[in-house]
Amino acid sequence: MQSVCIFCGSNTGREALYAEATRALVQALAAAGIRIVYGGGNIGLMGVVGQAALDAGAHVIGVTPRKLLEREVVHTGLSELHVVDSMHERKVMMAEMSDAFIALPGGMGTLDEIFEMLTLNQLGMQRKACGFYNVAGFFDSLCDFLDHAVAERFIRAEHRDMIMVADDPVSMITRLRQWKMPEVSKWMDHKPA
Rounded CA separation 134/45 (Å): 14
More confident residue, 160 or 181: 160
Strand partners, 35: 3
Rounded CA separation 181/191 (Å): 22
Asked whether residue 173 carries a pLDDT value surpassing 80, the answer given is yes
Asked whether residue 69 carries a pLDDT value surpassing 90, the answer given is no
Rounded to an integer, the average pLDDT of 43-65 is 95
Domain chopping of the chain, boundaries? 3-178
Look at 28-32, 69-73, 127-131, 177-181 and tell me which has the smallest mean pLDDT.
69-73
Rounded CA separation 85/186 (Å): 32
Closest CA to 63 of 112, 98, 18, 23: 98
Rounded CA separation 179/163 (Å): 9
Amino acid at 136: A
Rounded to an integer, the average pLDDT of 104-127 is 95
128-150 residue pLDDT tens: 999 999 999 999 999 999 999 99
112: left (phi over 0), alpha (psi -120 to 50) or beta: alpha
CATH for 3-178, among 3.40.50.450, 3.80.30.20, 3.40.50.410, 2.140.10.10?
3.40.50.450
Rounded CA separation 25/170 (Å): 8
Strand partners, 37: 5, 61
Which residues, at least 6 apart from 5, have a Cβ–Cβ distance to it below 8 Å?
Answer: 36, 37, 38, 94, 95, 97, 98, 100, 101, 102, 117
Torsion of CA 67, 72, 76, 80, to 10 degrees: -20
Closest CA to 134 of 169, 158, 108: 169
